[in-house]
Structure 1
Amino acid sequence: MTDAPDLGGWTHVYSGKVRDLYVPTTALDDDDTWTGDPLQHSPVVLVVASDRVSAYDQVLEPAIPGKGAMLTRLTRWWFDELPQVPNHLAYAEDDRLDVPPIPDEVADRATLCRTLDMFPIECVVRGFITGGGWKEYQATGAIGGIRLPEGLSNGDRLPEPIYTPAWKAPMGEHDENISYERTVELVGETVAEQLRALSLQVFADASAIAESRGLILADTKLEFGADREIGIVTLADEVLTSDSSRYWDAEAYATGATPELRMASFDKQIVRDWLAVNWDQDVSEEPPTLPHEIVEQTAERYRALVERLTTG
């Protein structure tokens, strides 16, 4: 499945749906009998964003050209815009680190990060009702167990942003929406409250920034881990990208007569919409190949978001 490249001085240790992880080769024992989690043996990890695209927990073909570089650029930008939230960035210039150079071939899509003990929680914040949340609301009148007002329509702004976490499933399995109470069982009450508070803070701050650039941040998915030295809850992984968030054009939203016109998106909604029509989401079968025009339209939407945010 993975197209992770070989990188001099770095050892590939894991591939997710979109990202490939590497640790410095020197961090691993030379002994051929070495076993265990490589991430436990290194203070840093090189996160390389690929061009792979996923939807409904499946990796799709073909990839989106330039996607990895765009996600990385946007994540770096958001970390700079949110200095009040601790993040996992590491720097090769740090005298305490002994890391090889980042190879030029992946420099535009690689991020050097401190290794964290990740929490198995996807921290989802919704400011508008759409996607899976809309389907759940139609069926139950609630999202993630949070009762919402009657009569909402697809794309409506919620009375206030809501935190609806999910359990992060192993590769190949579906993530599972869970209650806040379940997160307390998984990570403890103190960490669960920190995850909720930090997620809502990031969403509020990012929403204000997006609004200043004529964009609506409809929802987002964040991940956090514990700093191994001091234990502080730390923002990690990709942040507020087209893969992890829904962005809409604010002017189109204000003037659109239908949900389709209102929610002019800058994310992979094009892919989701095409799959909804052309695939029954039977995970026992390979998903269909994305048409060229869908790939090109998605890449254009990703590029447009990066430009609107970072040069606005």
Structure 2
Amino acid sequence: MTPSPESVTTMLYQHDDNGALLRTDLPFPRRSGKVRDVYDLGDNLLIVSTDRISAFDFILPSGIPDKGRILTQTSAFWFDHLDVRHHLLSTEVPEALSAQFDTEPLVGRVMVTEKASVIPFECVVRGYLEGSGLIEYQQTGEICGNRLPPGLKQCDRLPEAIFTPATKAEEGDHDENVSIGRMIADLGSDLALGLRKRSLDIYRKACQYAESRGILIADTKFEFGKVGDEVVLIDEVLTPDSSRFWAADDYQPGQAQPSFDKQFVREWLSTCGWDKKSDPPALPPEIIQRTKAKYEEAKKRLTQSEPTL
């Protein structure tokens, strides 16, 4: 018996009860991360941003509807806006795929990219004191070998942006913050120092633009790869998943800042009674909607576009 188009679509795409796309299963070689399903199309890659959301190193059973489209469209904006060599070729679903099966669930959430050999470091840039950087500073007075002035408060703006690389963790493990010396030892001086300069340059340019749109980029991470001998910016870039975005008009150092990311999800998980060891619970509809609204607001402010339909 030939399967119906509806059953084929169900096999290719898994949604939750809120309509969030949790998984794709296209007929190509695939590897999956916490959010993205990456398919090998032969000459290029197809990167699908699902609506999965993770917290405390767990992928949650509930997704955030249209989150993948928001991330893809935000990344596409930055790839176009930044004057930097990158891997993005197109955000259109390839016609060859549309001729084979229903690709409507993929619209707005795919990137067709060049294949690149991934450089195994997260290139993290921090302009403000928060997160793991704050913890390390309070313990040592520095972050990843960058000595900072004494007396800085939570979320203070740093005298200048600093580069704090991290090793890319295996799935399920934490990334490890390291010094530029470790990066130089692994990659060589030219590549490591070149990545530091590229990352700081991109961050400064992005901050200048974002602040004009009412957003402070507290910190962010970039990933790079090589196409032949050429270093290119890959993965996502300057999204609420890879960055800490704060509203400029609400900024008050000395305390945690409201942010355009999964803050509501983390807060709810921390107060709902979950032990952060067993399988995580489903998210309430209110937390899902508030989280989606924050992602939408960040995209709208940065791209000056209307919410994702």
Give the TM-score range, shorter chain. 0.7 to 0.9
1: distance between equivalents of 2:272 and 2:162?
Answer: 31
1: distance between equivalents of 2:233 and 2:253?
Answer: 37
TM-score normalised by L of structure 2: 0.84
Look up the match of 1:293: 286
Tell me by how many angstroms 1:279 deviates. Answer: 7.0
The residue identity in structure 1 corresponding to 2:177 is: N
The residue identity in structure 2 corresponding to 1:22 is: Y
Match of 1:14 among 31, 36, 39: 31
Tell me by how many angstroms 1:175 deviates. Answer: 1.1
1:132-167, Cα deviation, whole Å (9 max, x unpaired): 211221222211122211111111000000000100
The residue identity in structure 1 corresponding to 2:174 is: H
Summarize the Cα distance change of 1:70–1:197 in structure 2 as closer, same or farther, 3 Å threshold. Answer: same
The residue identity in structure 2 corresponding to 1:13 is: R
Summarize the Cα distance change of 1:280–1:202 in structure 2 as closer, same or farther, 3 Å threshold. Answer: farther
2: distance between equivalents of 1:77 and 1:86?
Answer: 14
Look up the match of 1:35: none
Match of 1:244 among 226, 242, 245: 242
The residue identity in structure 1 corresponding to 2:79 is: F
1: distance between equivalents of 2:146 and 2:272?
Answer: 32
Summarize the Cα distance change of 1:155–1:278 in structure 2 as closer, same or farther, 3 Å threshold. Answer: farther
Structure 2 contact 155–253 (Cα < 8 Å) conserved = no
Q: How many residues align?
A: 281
Structure 2 contact 47–111 (Cα < 8 Å) conserved = yes
Moved more, 234-243 or 127-136: 127-136
Summarize the Cα distance change of 1:92–1:297 in structure 2 as closer, same or farther, 3 Å threshold. Answer: closer
Look up the match of 2:124: 124
Summarize the Cα distance change of 1:257–1:178 in structure 2 as closer, same or farther, 3 Å threshold. Answer: closer
TM alignment of 1:78-97, pairs within 5 A: 78-82=78-82, 84-91=83-90
Structure 1 contact 121–223 (Cα < 8 Å) conserved = yes
Helix, strand or coil at the partner of 2:246: strand
Summarize the Cα distance change of 1:184–1:3 in structure 2 as closer, same or farther, 3 Å threshold. Answer: same
1:87-136, Cα deviation, whole Å (9 max, x unpaired): 0012499xxxx983463320210000001000110110000001121122
Tell me by how many angstroms 1:289 deviates. Answer: 3.7
Q: Which blocks of at least 5 consecutive residues in structure 2 are unaligned?
A: 1-13, 15-20
Summarize the Cα distance change of 1:194–1:46 in structure 2 as closer, same or farther, 3 Å threshold. Answer: same
Structure 2 contact 224–234 (Cα < 8 Å) conserved = yes
Look up the match of 2:259: 265
1: distance between equivalents of 2:301 and 2:225?
Answer: 29
Summarize the Cα distance change of 1:118–1:257 in structure 2 as closer, same or farther, 3 Å threshold. Answer: closer
Helix, strand or coil at the partner of 1:11: coil
Summarize the Cα distance change of 1:140–1:311 in structure 2 as closer, same or farther, 3 Å threshold. Answer: same
Structure 1 contact 6–12 (Cα < 8 Å) conserved = no
TM-score normalised by L of structure 1: 0.83
Task: Indicate whether 1:303 and 2:296 are aligned.
Answer: yes
Helix, strand or coil at the partner of 2:213: coil
Q: Percent identity?
A: 44
Compute the RMSD of aligned alpha carbons: 2.4
Helix, strand or coil at the partner of 1:259: coil
Helix, strand or coil at the partner of 1:191: helix
1: distance between equivalents of 2:117 and 2:274?
Answer: 36
Q: Which blocks of at least 5 consecutive residues in structure 1 are unaligned?
A: 25-41
Structure 1 contact 279–287 (Cα < 8 Å) conserved = no
2: distance between equivalents of 1:80 and 1:291?
Answer: 36
